[in-house]
Amino acid sequence: MHSEDAVAERPWGALFEGDRADGAIYRDPALFDAEMDRIFKNTWVWVAHDSELPGPNTFKTGHVGTSPVLITRDKKGQVHVLLNRCRHRAASVCEKKKGKQSVFVCPYHGWSYDPDGSLRKVPHRWGYDENFDPADYPLFSLRVEQYAGMIFATFNADAPPLEEHLGAARKWMDLFMKQGGGFGVKVLGQHSFRFPGNWKIQLENTTDAYHFPIVHKTFLDSLDEETENVFDVLGQGGWVEDLGNGHSVMVMIPSLIDLEADLEAPIPDRFADLAAELAAEGHDDLTVRRLVRAVGGTGFNLNLFPNVACSMAFFRVLRPVDVATTEITHVAIGMDGGESVGPANRARIRLHEHFQGPMGFGTPDDAEGWERVQRGVRAGEGMPILVNRGVSAPEGTAEPGHEAGDVSSEVGMRAAYRMWKRMMDE
Protein backbone atom coordinates (compact mmCIF):
# COMPACT_ATOMS: atom_id res chain seq x y z
CA MET A 1 0.00 0.00 0.00
CA HIS A 2 1.13 3.52 -0.69
CA SER A 3 -0.46 6.88 -0.12
CA GLU A 4 -0.93 9.46 -2.87
CA ASP A 5 1.76 11.52 -1.12
CA ALA A 6 4.23 8.70 -1.43
CA VAL A 7 3.31 8.45 -5.12
CA ALA A 8 3.98 12.17 -5.49
CA GLU A 9 7.56 11.64 -4.38
CA ARG A 10 8.19 8.87 -6.88
CA PRO A 11 9.58 9.63 -10.33
CA TRP A 12 6.37 10.14 -12.31
CA GLY A 13 7.44 8.04 -15.28
CA ALA A 14 7.58 4.93 -13.07
CA LEU A 15 3.77 4.94 -12.94
CA PHE A 16 3.80 3.34 -16.39
CA GLU A 17 5.87 0.21 -17.02
CA GLY A 18 5.66 -1.89 -20.17
CA ASP A 19 1.97 -2.57 -20.60
CA ARG A 20 0.39 -1.39 -17.37
CA ALA A 21 -0.13 1.84 -15.48
CA ASP A 22 -0.76 2.69 -11.84
CA GLY A 23 -4.33 3.91 -11.23
CA ALA A 24 -2.84 7.10 -9.76
CA ILE A 25 -2.32 8.34 -13.33
CA TYR A 26 -6.03 9.19 -13.43
CA ARG A 27 -6.52 10.60 -9.97
CA ASP A 28 -3.44 12.33 -8.54
CA PRO A 29 -3.78 16.15 -8.65
CA ALA A 30 -0.01 16.63 -8.14
CA LEU A 31 0.63 14.42 -11.15
CA PHE A 32 -1.84 16.50 -13.17
CA ASP A 33 0.11 19.67 -12.37
CA ALA A 34 3.34 17.92 -13.38
CA GLU A 35 1.76 16.81 -16.67
CA MET A 36 0.63 20.35 -17.49
CA ASP A 37 4.22 21.46 -16.95
CA ARG A 38 6.20 18.64 -18.52
CA ILE A 39 3.89 17.72 -21.40
CA PHE A 40 1.52 20.58 -22.23
CA LYS A 41 4.18 23.30 -21.76
CA ASN A 42 6.79 21.23 -23.56
CA THR A 43 5.46 19.73 -26.74
CA TRP A 44 3.34 20.74 -29.74
CA VAL A 45 -0.33 21.18 -28.81
CA TRP A 46 -3.03 21.46 -31.51
CA VAL A 47 -4.88 24.79 -31.39
CA ALA A 48 -6.81 25.24 -34.65
CA HIS A 49 -7.45 24.21 -38.22
CA ASP A 50 -6.37 26.70 -40.86
CA SER A 51 -9.98 27.18 -42.07
CA GLU A 52 -11.00 28.49 -38.63
CA LEU A 53 -9.00 31.65 -39.40
CA PRO A 54 -10.58 32.40 -42.79
CA GLY A 55 -8.85 35.72 -43.57
CA PRO A 56 -6.81 38.66 -42.29
CA ASN A 57 -7.63 39.79 -38.73
CA THR A 58 -9.66 36.67 -37.85
CA PHE A 59 -9.27 34.84 -34.56
CA LYS A 60 -10.52 32.14 -32.24
CA THR A 61 -9.86 31.51 -28.57
CA GLY A 62 -8.68 28.25 -27.07
CA HIS A 63 -6.27 26.67 -24.62
CA VAL A 64 -2.76 25.24 -24.56
CA GLY A 65 -2.91 22.96 -21.55
CA THR A 66 -4.60 25.08 -18.90
CA SER A 67 -3.49 28.41 -20.41
CA PRO A 68 -6.17 30.40 -22.28
CA VAL A 69 -4.86 31.56 -25.67
CA LEU A 70 -5.89 33.73 -28.55
CA ILE A 71 -5.20 32.27 -32.00
CA THR A 72 -5.03 35.04 -34.59
CA ARG A 73 -4.28 35.63 -38.23
CA ASP A 74 -2.71 39.06 -38.73
CA LYS A 75 -3.32 41.33 -41.69
CA LYS A 76 -0.42 39.73 -43.58
CA GLY A 77 -1.88 36.25 -43.08
CA GLN A 78 0.57 35.07 -40.42
CA VAL A 79 -0.86 32.96 -37.58
CA HIS A 80 -0.07 33.82 -33.95
CA VAL A 81 -0.86 32.05 -30.70
CA LEU A 82 -0.89 34.54 -27.82
CA LEU A 83 -1.63 34.20 -24.13
CA ASN A 84 -5.06 35.74 -23.52
CA ARG A 85 -3.73 37.88 -20.71
CA CYS A 86 -3.07 41.60 -20.68
CA ARG A 87 0.55 42.45 -19.90
CA HIS A 88 -0.59 45.12 -17.43
CA ARG A 89 -2.70 43.47 -14.72
CA ALA A 90 -3.63 40.16 -16.38
CA ALA A 91 -7.25 40.68 -17.51
CA SER A 92 -8.24 38.53 -20.48
CA VAL A 93 -8.18 40.64 -23.64
CA CYS A 94 -10.84 38.66 -25.52
CA GLU A 95 -13.81 36.55 -24.39
CA LYS A 96 -15.37 35.83 -27.78
CA LYS A 97 -15.05 32.34 -29.24
CA LYS A 98 -14.22 33.52 -32.74
CA GLY A 99 -14.51 36.55 -34.94
CA LYS A 100 -12.83 39.21 -36.96
CA GLN A 101 -11.14 42.27 -35.48
CA SER A 102 -7.99 44.25 -36.06
CA VAL A 103 -7.34 45.21 -32.45
CA PHE A 104 -7.81 43.61 -29.02
CA VAL A 105 -8.49 46.14 -26.29
CA CYS A 106 -8.14 45.10 -22.69
CA PRO A 107 -11.42 46.18 -21.06
CA TYR A 108 -9.80 47.07 -17.72
CA HIS A 109 -7.40 49.96 -18.53
CA GLY A 110 -7.64 50.08 -22.31
CA TRP A 111 -4.28 48.67 -23.36
CA SER A 112 -4.70 47.74 -27.02
CA TYR A 113 -2.94 45.01 -28.97
CA ASP A 114 -2.51 44.21 -32.65
CA PRO A 115 -3.44 40.68 -33.86
CA ASP A 116 0.31 39.90 -33.90
CA GLY A 117 0.39 40.66 -30.17
CA SER A 118 2.25 44.01 -30.26
CA LEU A 119 1.08 46.55 -27.73
CA ARG A 120 -0.34 49.34 -29.86
CA LYS A 121 -1.37 51.94 -27.34
CA VAL A 122 -1.54 52.62 -23.61
CA PRO A 123 -4.11 55.21 -22.41
CA HIS A 124 -2.74 58.14 -20.39
CA ARG A 125 0.82 57.36 -21.37
CA TRP A 126 1.98 60.34 -19.21
CA GLY A 127 1.65 58.25 -16.04
CA TYR A 128 4.65 56.11 -17.04
CA ASP A 129 8.18 57.47 -17.10
CA GLU A 130 10.21 58.04 -20.28
CA ASN A 131 11.84 54.57 -20.06
CA PHE A 132 8.49 52.85 -20.58
CA ASP A 133 8.46 51.38 -24.09
CA PRO A 134 5.26 49.62 -25.30
CA ALA A 135 7.48 47.42 -27.52
CA ASP A 136 8.59 45.70 -24.30
CA TYR A 137 5.03 44.54 -23.50
CA PRO A 138 3.53 42.51 -26.34
CA LEU A 139 1.10 39.69 -25.53
CA PHE A 140 3.14 36.59 -24.70
CA SER A 141 3.62 34.72 -27.97
CA LEU A 142 4.00 30.95 -28.37
CA ARG A 143 5.89 29.20 -31.14
CA VAL A 144 3.50 28.26 -33.98
CA GLU A 145 3.92 25.80 -36.84
CA GLN A 146 1.44 23.96 -39.05
CA TYR A 147 1.17 20.85 -41.17
CA ALA A 148 -1.65 19.82 -43.50
CA GLY A 149 -3.77 22.72 -42.24
CA MET A 150 -3.40 21.67 -38.60
CA ILE A 151 -2.01 24.51 -36.47
CA PHE A 152 0.04 23.62 -33.39
CA ALA A 153 1.69 25.80 -30.74
CA THR A 154 4.27 25.24 -28.04
CA PHE A 155 5.75 27.13 -25.12
CA ASN A 156 9.04 25.31 -25.72
CA ALA A 157 11.56 27.22 -27.83
CA ASP A 158 13.73 24.08 -27.99
CA ALA A 159 11.03 21.66 -29.14
CA PRO A 160 11.98 19.93 -32.41
CA PRO A 161 10.31 21.32 -35.56
CA LEU A 162 6.64 20.26 -35.82
CA GLU A 163 7.23 18.09 -38.90
CA GLU A 164 9.93 16.18 -37.09
CA HIS A 165 7.68 15.73 -34.06
CA LEU A 166 4.86 14.41 -36.29
CA GLY A 167 7.24 12.13 -38.18
CA ALA A 168 5.47 9.03 -39.54
CA ALA A 169 2.08 10.53 -38.64
CA ARG A 170 2.36 13.02 -41.53
CA LYS A 171 1.54 10.37 -44.13
CA TRP A 172 -1.72 9.65 -42.32
CA MET A 173 -2.56 13.37 -41.94
CA ASP A 174 -2.19 13.72 -45.71
CA LEU A 175 -4.48 10.71 -46.24
CA PHE A 176 -7.00 12.10 -43.74
CA MET A 177 -7.23 15.45 -45.56
CA LYS A 178 -8.29 13.69 -48.78
CA GLN A 179 -11.83 13.81 -47.38
CA GLY A 180 -11.89 17.38 -48.67
CA GLY A 181 -12.84 15.57 -51.90
CA GLY A 182 -10.33 17.66 -53.86
CA PHE A 183 -11.62 20.96 -52.45
CA GLY A 184 -9.62 21.05 -49.24
CA VAL A 185 -10.95 20.54 -45.73
CA LYS A 186 -13.06 23.12 -43.95
CA VAL A 187 -14.40 23.24 -40.38
CA LEU A 188 -18.24 23.18 -40.45
CA GLY A 189 -19.00 23.46 -36.74
CA GLN A 190 -18.40 21.66 -33.49
CA HIS A 191 -19.76 19.95 -30.40
CA SER A 192 -18.09 20.33 -27.06
CA PHE A 193 -18.76 18.64 -23.76
CA ARG A 194 -17.03 17.75 -20.51
CA PHE A 195 -16.84 14.52 -18.63
CA PRO A 196 -15.77 13.97 -15.03
CA GLY A 197 -12.60 12.04 -15.72
CA ASN A 198 -8.91 12.33 -16.48
CA TRP A 199 -7.71 13.44 -19.93
CA LYS A 200 -5.75 10.24 -20.57
CA ILE A 201 -8.98 8.19 -20.46
CA GLN A 202 -10.01 10.07 -23.60
CA LEU A 203 -6.51 9.85 -25.09
CA GLU A 204 -6.81 6.05 -24.86
CA ASN A 205 -10.31 5.93 -26.31
CA THR A 206 -9.51 7.17 -29.82
CA THR A 207 -7.22 4.18 -30.26
CA ASP A 208 -9.62 1.68 -28.69
CA ALA A 209 -11.57 -0.39 -31.24
CA TYR A 210 -12.16 -3.07 -28.60
CA HIS A 211 -14.97 -1.06 -26.95
CA PHE A 212 -16.74 -0.19 -30.20
CA PRO A 213 -19.13 -3.14 -30.75
CA ILE A 214 -19.96 -3.21 -27.03
CA VAL A 215 -20.39 0.44 -26.08
CA HIS A 216 -21.80 1.42 -29.47
CA LYS A 217 -24.23 -1.44 -30.00
CA THR A 218 -27.18 0.97 -30.16
CA PHE A 219 -25.41 3.07 -32.78
CA LEU A 220 -24.74 -0.04 -34.87
CA ASP A 221 -28.35 -1.18 -34.45
CA SER A 222 -29.55 2.15 -35.89
CA LEU A 223 -27.70 1.66 -39.19
CA ASP A 224 -28.90 0.05 -42.38
CA GLU A 225 -27.31 -3.33 -43.08
CA GLU A 226 -24.79 -1.98 -45.59
CA THR A 227 -23.53 0.70 -43.23
CA GLU A 228 -23.51 -1.70 -40.29
CA ASN A 229 -21.11 -3.90 -42.27
CA VAL A 230 -18.85 -0.88 -42.87
CA PHE A 231 -18.76 -0.29 -39.10
CA ASP A 232 -17.83 -3.89 -38.28
CA VAL A 233 -14.55 -2.41 -37.06
CA LEU A 234 -13.11 -5.60 -35.59
CA GLY A 235 -13.87 -7.80 -38.59
CA GLN A 236 -12.07 -6.22 -41.52
CA GLY A 237 -8.42 -7.04 -40.95
CA GLY A 238 -7.49 -3.69 -39.46
CA TRP A 239 -4.53 -2.94 -37.27
CA VAL A 240 -2.99 -0.46 -34.80
CA GLU A 241 0.46 0.94 -35.48
CA ASP A 242 2.87 2.90 -33.30
CA LEU A 243 4.02 5.93 -35.31
CA GLY A 244 6.58 7.19 -32.79
CA ASN A 245 6.55 10.18 -30.37
CA GLY A 246 3.29 8.96 -28.82
CA HIS A 247 1.35 9.03 -32.10
CA SER A 248 -0.47 6.01 -33.46
CA VAL A 249 -2.94 5.03 -36.13
CA MET A 250 -5.83 2.58 -35.73
CA VAL A 251 -7.07 1.32 -39.09
CA MET A 252 -10.61 -0.05 -38.75
CA ILE A 253 -11.76 -0.05 -42.39
CA PRO A 254 -8.73 -0.79 -44.59
CA SER A 255 -10.74 -0.17 -47.79
CA LEU A 256 -11.18 3.49 -46.69
CA ILE A 257 -7.53 4.38 -46.09
CA ASP A 258 -7.06 6.18 -49.39
CA LEU A 259 -10.20 8.05 -50.43
CA GLU A 260 -8.81 8.69 -53.90
CA ALA A 261 -8.42 4.98 -54.63
CA ASP A 262 -11.19 2.79 -56.09
CA LEU A 263 -13.14 5.72 -57.50
CA GLU A 264 -14.48 3.45 -60.23
CA ALA A 265 -16.28 1.23 -57.66
CA PRO A 266 -20.10 1.33 -57.77
CA ILE A 267 -21.68 4.03 -55.59
CA PRO A 268 -23.33 2.39 -52.56
CA ASP A 269 -27.15 2.44 -52.61
CA ARG A 270 -27.35 4.57 -49.50
CA PHE A 271 -25.49 7.38 -51.35
CA ALA A 272 -27.48 7.18 -54.61
CA ASP A 273 -29.64 10.22 -53.78
CA LEU A 274 -26.60 12.23 -52.72
CA ALA A 275 -24.80 11.34 -55.95
CA ALA A 276 -27.82 12.53 -57.96
CA GLU A 277 -27.94 15.81 -56.02
CA LEU A 278 -24.23 16.43 -56.60
CA ALA A 279 -24.58 15.67 -60.31
CA ALA A 280 -27.45 18.19 -60.42
CA GLU A 281 -25.02 20.78 -58.99
CA GLY A 282 -23.00 20.35 -62.18
CA HIS A 283 -20.16 18.12 -60.91
CA ASP A 284 -18.71 15.67 -63.42
CA ASP A 285 -18.90 11.93 -62.78
CA LEU A 286 -15.39 11.63 -61.33
CA THR A 287 -15.96 14.54 -58.93
CA VAL A 288 -19.29 13.07 -57.82
CA ARG A 289 -17.56 9.76 -57.10
CA ARG A 290 -14.76 11.50 -55.20
CA LEU A 291 -17.23 13.52 -53.10
CA VAL A 292 -19.44 10.53 -52.34
CA ARG A 293 -16.47 8.36 -51.37
CA ALA A 294 -15.19 11.14 -49.08
CA VAL A 295 -18.53 11.87 -47.44
CA GLY A 296 -18.24 9.33 -44.64
CA GLY A 297 -14.61 10.13 -43.90
CA THR A 298 -11.64 7.79 -43.69
CA GLY A 299 -11.42 4.31 -42.20
CA PHE A 300 -8.88 5.18 -39.52
CA ASN A 301 -8.25 7.16 -36.34
CA LEU A 302 -4.93 8.96 -36.13
CA ASN A 303 -4.02 9.79 -32.54
CA LEU A 304 -1.58 12.69 -32.21
CA PHE A 305 -0.03 12.99 -28.77
CA PRO A 306 -1.11 14.72 -26.59
CA ASN A 307 -4.38 16.45 -27.52
CA VAL A 308 -5.81 15.85 -30.98
CA ALA A 309 -6.98 12.99 -33.15
CA CYS A 310 -7.97 12.85 -36.79
CA SER A 311 -10.86 10.51 -36.15
CA MET A 312 -12.51 9.09 -39.30
CA ALA A 313 -14.49 12.20 -40.28
CA PHE A 314 -13.74 14.81 -37.59
CA PHE A 315 -11.08 16.22 -35.28
CA ARG A 316 -11.28 15.09 -31.67
CA VAL A 317 -9.64 17.64 -29.41
CA LEU A 318 -9.11 17.10 -25.70
CA ARG A 319 -8.46 19.77 -23.13
CA PRO A 320 -7.41 18.82 -19.61
CA VAL A 321 -9.33 21.03 -17.17
CA ASP A 322 -8.32 19.43 -13.88
CA VAL A 323 -7.28 15.96 -12.78
CA ALA A 324 -10.85 14.66 -13.02
CA THR A 325 -12.38 16.98 -15.64
CA THR A 326 -11.75 16.87 -19.36
CA GLU A 327 -13.31 18.90 -22.13
CA ILE A 328 -13.77 17.29 -25.53
CA THR A 329 -14.46 19.09 -28.77
CA HIS A 330 -15.66 17.20 -31.82
CA VAL A 331 -14.86 19.43 -34.77
CA ALA A 332 -17.02 18.61 -37.80
CA ILE A 333 -15.20 19.04 -41.09
CA GLY A 334 -16.34 19.10 -44.67
CA MET A 335 -15.37 20.11 -48.15
CA ASP A 336 -14.28 23.67 -48.87
CA GLY A 337 -16.16 23.87 -52.16
CA GLY A 338 -18.92 26.39 -51.45
CA GLU A 339 -22.60 25.87 -52.26
CA SER A 340 -21.93 23.31 -55.03
CA VAL A 341 -20.83 20.79 -52.40
CA GLY A 342 -23.67 21.79 -50.04
CA PRO A 343 -25.46 18.43 -50.35
CA ALA A 344 -22.26 16.57 -49.39
CA ASN A 345 -21.58 18.85 -46.44
CA ARG A 346 -25.15 18.58 -45.17
CA ALA A 347 -24.86 14.80 -45.39
CA ARG A 348 -21.59 14.99 -43.44
CA ILE A 349 -23.18 17.17 -40.75
CA ARG A 350 -26.11 14.77 -40.30
CA LEU A 351 -23.71 11.80 -40.08
CA HIS A 352 -21.65 13.73 -37.51
CA GLU A 353 -24.73 14.49 -35.40
CA HIS A 354 -25.83 10.86 -35.61
CA PHE A 355 -22.82 9.61 -33.59
CA GLN A 356 -21.07 12.63 -32.06
CA GLY A 357 -21.92 15.23 -29.48
CA PRO A 358 -23.78 15.42 -26.17
CA MET A 359 -26.88 13.67 -27.56
CA GLY A 360 -25.33 11.63 -30.37
CA PHE A 361 -25.91 7.89 -30.63
CA GLY A 362 -22.28 7.28 -29.61
CA THR A 363 -20.78 10.05 -27.49
CA PRO A 364 -23.03 9.90 -24.38
CA ASP A 365 -22.22 6.20 -23.98
CA ASP A 366 -18.49 6.90 -24.38
CA ALA A 367 -18.72 9.68 -21.80
CA GLU A 368 -20.57 7.40 -19.37
CA GLY A 369 -17.87 4.75 -19.83
CA TRP A 370 -15.08 7.23 -19.15
CA GLU A 371 -16.85 8.52 -16.04
CA ARG A 372 -17.14 4.92 -14.86
CA VAL A 373 -13.35 4.55 -15.19
CA GLN A 374 -12.83 7.61 -12.99
CA ARG A 375 -15.36 6.30 -10.44
CA GLY A 376 -13.89 2.82 -10.46
CA VAL A 377 -10.27 3.85 -10.07
CA ARG A 378 -11.01 5.23 -6.61
CA ALA A 379 -10.84 1.56 -5.56
CA GLY A 380 -7.92 -0.81 -5.71
CA GLU A 381 -4.83 1.19 -4.86
CA GLY A 382 -1.83 -0.50 -6.40
CA MET A 383 -3.93 -2.45 -8.90
CA PRO A 384 -2.75 -1.78 -12.44
CA ILE A 385 -4.61 -0.41 -15.45
CA LEU A 386 -4.00 -3.01 -18.15
CA VAL A 387 -3.09 -1.95 -21.68
CA ASN A 388 -1.59 -5.32 -22.63
CA ARG A 389 -4.12 -6.46 -25.21
CA GLY A 390 -3.11 -7.44 -28.74
CA VAL A 391 -1.98 -10.16 -31.10
CA SER A 392 0.04 -9.65 -34.28
CA ALA A 393 -1.16 -7.26 -36.94
CA PRO A 394 -2.23 -8.88 -40.22
CA GLU A 395 0.76 -9.66 -42.46
CA GLY A 396 2.02 -6.79 -44.58
CA THR A 397 -0.08 -4.03 -43.07
CA ALA A 398 2.08 -1.90 -40.75
CA GLU A 399 5.32 -0.31 -41.92
CA PRO A 400 8.36 -2.47 -41.22
CA GLY A 401 10.02 -1.43 -37.96
CA HIS A 402 6.82 -0.07 -36.37
CA GLU A 403 5.31 -1.92 -33.43
CA ALA A 404 1.84 -3.03 -34.50
CA GLY A 405 -1.01 -5.24 -33.37
CA ASP A 406 -4.47 -6.32 -34.47
CA VAL A 407 -7.18 -3.66 -34.65
CA SER A 408 -8.42 -4.42 -31.13
CA SER A 409 -4.93 -4.22 -29.63
CA GLU A 410 -3.80 -1.63 -27.12
CA VAL A 411 -0.65 -0.81 -29.09
CA GLY A 412 -1.74 2.83 -29.54
CA MET A 413 -2.23 3.27 -25.79
CA ARG A 414 1.17 1.79 -25.09
CA ALA A 415 2.67 4.15 -27.69
CA ALA A 416 1.04 7.15 -26.00
CA TYR A 417 2.09 6.04 -22.50
CA ARG A 418 5.69 5.46 -23.60
CA MET A 419 5.83 9.06 -24.82
CA TRP A 420 4.09 10.16 -21.60
CA LYS A 421 6.72 8.30 -19.58
CA ARG A 422 9.56 9.80 -21.59
CA MET A 423 8.25 13.33 -21.06
CA MET A 424 7.43 12.80 -17.37
CA ASP A 425 10.94 11.47 -16.73
CA GLU A 426 12.70 14.33 -18.49
Partner 1 sequence: MSAVTLDRPAVTLADLTAFIWAEADLLDRLAYKDWLKLWSTDGLYIVPVERGVADHANAVNVLYDDAEMREMRVKRLLSGFSMSSAPPARTVRTVSRFVETARNETSVDLRAAQVIVEYKYERHRLLAADVDYRIELSAEGLKLARKVVTLINCDDPLHGIGYLL
Q: Which is nearer to partner 1, 280 or 359 (CB)?
A: 359
Contact 70, 61 (CB under 8 A): yes
Q: Which is nearer to partner 1, 171 or 354 (CB)?
A: 354
CA dist., res. 318 & res. 332, Å (int) = 15
Q: Which is nearer to partner 1, 246 or 320 (CB)?
A: 320
Q: Which is nearer to partner 1, 117 or 343 (CB)?
A: 343
Output the smallest distance, CB 130 to partner 1, in A.
Answer: 45
Rule CB under 8 A: say whether 375 interacts with partner 1: yes
Binding mask 152-191 for partner 1 (x = CB under 8 A): ------------------------------------xxxx
Q: Which is nearer to partner 1, 157 or 214 (CB)?
A: 214
- Amino acid code (one letter) for 375: R
Rule CB under 8 A: say whether 366 interacts with partner 1: yes
Q: Which is nearer to partner 1, 218 or 388 (CB)?
A: 218
- Tell me the window of 33-41, 231-239, 302-310, 367-375 that interacts with partner 1 (CB under 8 A): 367-375
Q: Distances from the Cα of 389 to the Cαs of 22, 304, 411, 414, in angstroms?
A: 17, 21, 8, 10
- Amino acid code (one letter) for 201: I
Q: Which is nearer to partner 1, 183 or 219 (CB)?
A: 219
Rule CB under 8 A: say whether 96 interacts with partner 1: no
Rule CB under 8 A: say whether 364 interacts with partner 1: yes
Return the ∠ at Cα 367 (arms to 361 and 372), rounded to 5°: 130
Rule CB under 8 A: say whether 378 interacts with partner 1: no
Contact 271, 344 (CB under 8 A): no
**H or E element in which residue 330 lies:** strand 325-335
Rule CB under 8 A: say whether 368 interacts with partner 1: yes
Rule CB under 8 A: say whether 363 interacts with partner 1: yes
Bridge partners (DSSP) listed for residue 319: 327
Q: For residue 72, give the DSSP letter.
A: E
Among the listed residues 124, 130, 350, 401, the single contact to partner 1 using CB under 8 A: 350
Shortest CA distance to 346 belongs to which of 291, 420, 426?
Answer: 291
Q: Alpha-carbon torsion 309, 388, 168, 407, what sign?
A: negative
Bridge partners (DSSP) listed for residue 317: 308, 329
Rule CB under 8 A: say whether 367 interacts with partner 1: yes
**Exposed e or buried b for every residue in 249-279, given b needs 16+ CB within 10 A?**
bbbbbbebbebeeeeeeeebeebeebbebbe
Rule CB under 8 A: say whether 352 interacts with partner 1: yes
Output the smallest distance, CB 328 to partner 1, in A.
Answer: 8
Contact 188, 333 (CB under 8 A): yes
How long, in residues, is the chain?
426
Output the smallest distance, CB 368 to partner 1, in A.
Answer: 4
Return the ∠ at Cα 147 (arms to 246 and 37), rounded to 5°: 45
Binding site for partner 1 (CB under 8 A): 97, 188-195, 215, 217-219, 221-222, 327, 332, 342, 345-346, 349-350, 352-354, 357-361, 363-369, 371-372, 375
